[in-house]
Amino acid sequence: MAASGTIRILDGNTFVVSEDTGDIEATPSEPTGLFSLDTRFLSTWVLKVNDERLNALSYDDLQYYEARFFLVPGMATHYIDAKLSIIRERAVGGSFREQITILNHDEKAVDLEIRMDAGSDFADLFQVKDEILNKKGEIYSEVEPDRLRLGYRRGNFVRETVISSSAPARYDSQGFAYTIHLEPNEQWETRIDVETLAVGPGGRDLRIGVRAHGTERLALQHDLEKWIREAPKLNSQHEDLASTYRRSLVDLAALRFSPLSLGGATLPAAGLPWFMTMFGRDSILTCLQTLPFTPALSKTTLRILASLQGTRFDDFRDEDPGRILHEMRYGETAAFEEQPHSPYYGSVDATPLFVVLLDEYERWTGDVALVKELEQESRAALRWVDEYADLVGNGYIWYERRNTDTGLENQCWKDSWDSISYSDGRLPPFPRATCEVQGYAYDAKVRAARLAREFWNDPAYADQLEREAAELKQRFNQDFWVDDGEYFALALDPDGRQCDVLSSNIGHLLWSGIVDHDRAEKIAGHLVGPRLFSGWGVRTLAEGEIRYNPIGYHNGTIWPFDNSFIAWGLRRYGFSEEAATIASGILDAATYFDGRLPEAFGGYHRDLTKFPVEYPTACSPQAWSTGTPLLLLRTMLGLEPHEGHLSVDPRLPIGMGRIEVLDIPGRWGRVDAFARGRLDLHRLTD
């Protein structure tokens, strides 16, 4: 159930966002609709009986791909004494299908006029989000005897919505209608099919042959059951934890996405509704979170990102040889190069993280073949780090967009325009080097050294990478350390000046291992200290900074995914109580969202609001929020591949009770992990 009152169902990158009646009446502020391939295919879908709108008694979102609405005539303000009920059942799976059933409870026969208003603005997802509507092409509507065809044409770019009904309907350019007669206790039904077409000049759909699974309801259901069956089982005394885990698995299933170029294999898309597409950073981080539970996602993610790795310089797309993509889109603005996402490469973390994921994947699965298969891509990624990302010539990864119109200013995960600042609130010039990305580069080199030595038969390269990593670590601990505050600066400007604010990014540094051991305790202290830790989680920016705002997108909100990596980092450096404090705060927050963590929630102190305040336009479900409970479980249970085995070293807070995770897949086959809450966290949070 979505907090905003909209109902969302989805399959891959086809999804429907509607009101709780099932109706769609899109406006810039209520971006409902049927979407596919980053295009809106229905912006109006309103059911009326005898010219009257319907009122929702209840609805169920049964599975991620289907929903059911129980309706009666008349608006909510009327006294409802309905003699008629209307049930709308819908599912997506490639196309969109809706079954309408009308029941007459009256002792008299009734004559009804049933009408569906249907229309589409064919808005690109970017236009919906940015509230721009100035279509350059032509919208048309063709009425055929047995169907209604809504279309949009701009040159050879054609998108069509084709609507047909099992019960004979009268079609007009703005919808379709039925005249029916129902005897007492009689019912009537019709099935409506809505196909979304992306037609090329040969009449061929762009998406032919890319389905991951059958699109019929039964196939979707079998696929979901198989997905759940293959994942480890979680048993817990803590009921909320068990339901959060299940919610995460189902949402991950929903967020799987088949890119056009991978022949049906799936990787996690970033999130509903705006990000049902391939994102380098989001897909990789989600895979890192979910590796112990759903390792197959990592293999396909690595392969698809490798197959689209940059090969040339393209300033519009911020592409360089070796660079891993940021975002792929299929809509009109990408097609006509009004947006650069075909694909866009403007992120600096996806490339080192690609190497990090490959190593972590091998440590869990023992899939040496993939490590060998992706040797050249890994080397190209590391070459990008050294040759093309070091814009200042001092051994760090920097970013400065070359596409100054539509490229991203901040090419790190905090990618909003004002996310990187000095402590006086000013924004630094470009290029910028954010701290966490240097950590990823360090980790990538250390991990690639292992791959080079063990699998690529290149010990000299391994030595070189280890030497470079050690030098980077030493340099980083000098240049980024803020002496006054005793933490690492958020970023450096091109003159080497520090963006000396206290931020959550320092937690990622622990995860990467770039922090000198004698400084780790200070960092851990900040992360669970009062300026960063709200009681629910770690704020993106510390309270007391000039730009701090508890609902500032990257300047004070709490991002669950961020916290999961912070907890992992704390655990890596031995701060298991601090890690458990963050893990239990975030898992507590999840219970307020029915186990579905949003992208971000407010940085208000826990005592002040008593419940986590969802960030207004946060995306949900979002892949790396969905992956968060899984990584927190891994962290608390201390699951770590070690010399071909799975080691388990649990550090659970007392309130967590007993947890068992059964059938954890990996190079060891399947292994169980058991844990019991023994940590008293009050010492830390008081």
List interacting residues with other proteins (CB under 8 A). Answer: 155-158, 199-202, 204, 206, 209-210, 260-263, 307-309, 311-317, 319-320, 330-331, 334-337, 342-343, 373, 376, 388-393, 400, 402, 431, 494
- Cβ–Cβ contacts within 10 Å for residue 20, how many? 18
Question: For the chain, what is the total number of helices (H) and then of strands (E)?
Answer: 19, 30
Q: Which is nearer to other proteins, 282 or 377 (CB)?
A: 377
C-alpha–C-alpha distance, residues 487 and 470, integer Å: 20
Minimal distance, residue 301 CB to other proteins, in Å: 16
C-alpha–C-alpha distance, residues 253 and 225, integer Å: 10
Q: Which is nearer to other proteins, 204 or 642 (CB)?
A: 204
Can you give the three-state secondary structure of 367-432, one letter per residue?
A: CHHHHHHCHHHHHHHHHHHHHHCCCCCCCCCCECCCCCCCCCCCCCCCCCCCCCCCCCCCCCCCCE
C-alpha–C-alpha distance, residues 377 and 320, integer Å: 13
Q: Which is nearer to other proteins, 316 or 481 (CB)?
A: 316
Minimal distance, residue 41 CB to other proteins, in Å: 16
Q: Which is nearer to other proteins, 346 or 535 (CB)?
A: 346
C-alpha–C-alpha distance, residues 653 and 588, integer Å: 12
C-alpha–C-alpha distance, residues 166 and 368, integer Å: 52
- Cβ–Cβ contacts within 10 Å for residue 466, how many? 17
Structure tokens at 86: 């209307």
CB 338 within 8 A of CB 359: no
| H or E element, residue 36 | strand 33-36
CB 303 within 8 A of CB 293: no
Structure tokens at 301: 């993610």
Q: Which is nearer to other proteins, 420 or 619 (CB)?
A: 420
Q: Which is nearer to other proteins, 342 or 557 (CB)?
A: 342
Minimal distance, residue 199 CB to other proteins, in Å: 7
- Cβ–Cβ contacts within 10 Å for residue 140, how many? 12
Minimal distance, residue 109 CB to other proteins, in Å: 51
Q: Which is nearer to other proteins, 376 or 457 (CB)?
A: 376
Minimal distance, residue 387 CB to other proteins, in Å: 8
Structure tokens at 76: 């909510």
Minimal distance, residue 148 CB to other proteins, in Å: 22
CB 10 within 8 A of CB 84: no
CB 206 within 8 A of CB 37: yes
Q: Which is nearer to other proteins, 310 or 537 (CB)?
A: 310
C-alpha–C-alpha distance, residues 523 and 534, integer Å: 16
Q: Which is nearer to other proteins, 432 or 473 (CB)?
A: 432
- Provide CB contacts within 8 A for 472, sequence distance 6+: 395, 438, 441, 442, 445, 514
Find the angle CA(97)-CA(103)-CA(108) to the nearest 5 degrees: 150
Q: Which is nearer to other proteins, 80 or 208 (CB)?
A: 208
Minimal distance, residue 308 CB to other proteins, in Å: 7
Minimal distance, residue 92 CB to other proteins, in Å: 22
CB 471 within 8 A of CB 384: no
Minimal distance, residue 158 CB to other proteins, in Å: 6
Structure tokens at 564: 């999961």
Minimal distance, residue 469 CB to other proteins, in Å: 22
- Provide CB contacts within 8 A for 4, sequence distance 6+: none
C-alpha–C-alpha distance, residues 430 and 496, integer Å: 11
Minimal distance, residue 429 CB to other proteins, in Å: 11
Minimal distance, residue 581 CB to other proteins, in Å: 41
CB 469 within 8 A of CB 442: yes
Minimal distance, residue 393 CB to other proteins, in Å: 4
Q: Which is nearer to other proteins, 274 or 336 (CB)?
A: 336
Q: Which is nearer to other proteins, 262 or 465 (CB)?
A: 262
Structure tokens at 498: 């520090």
CB 140 within 8 A of CB 172: no
Minimal distance, residue 126 CB to other proteins, in Å: 13
Q: Which is nearer to other proteins, 180 or 392 (CB)?
A: 392
Name residue 148's beta-bridge partners: 143, 163
Minimal distance, residue 300 CB to other proteins, in Å: 13
Q: Which is nearer to other proteins, 145 or 393 (CB)?
A: 393
Minimal distance, residue 131 CB to other proteins, in Å: 23
- Cβ–Cβ contacts within 10 Å for residue 185, how many? 10
CB 197 within 8 A of CB 160: yes
Torsion of CA 378, 382, 388, 390, to 10 degrees: 160
Q: Which is nearer to other proteins, 431 or 621 (CB)?
A: 431
Which whole-number Å values give the CA distances from 239 to 92, 244, 261, 587, in the listed order?
31, 9, 41, 12
Structure tokens at 227: 């997905």
Q: Which is nearer to other proteins, 188 or 388 (CB)?
A: 388
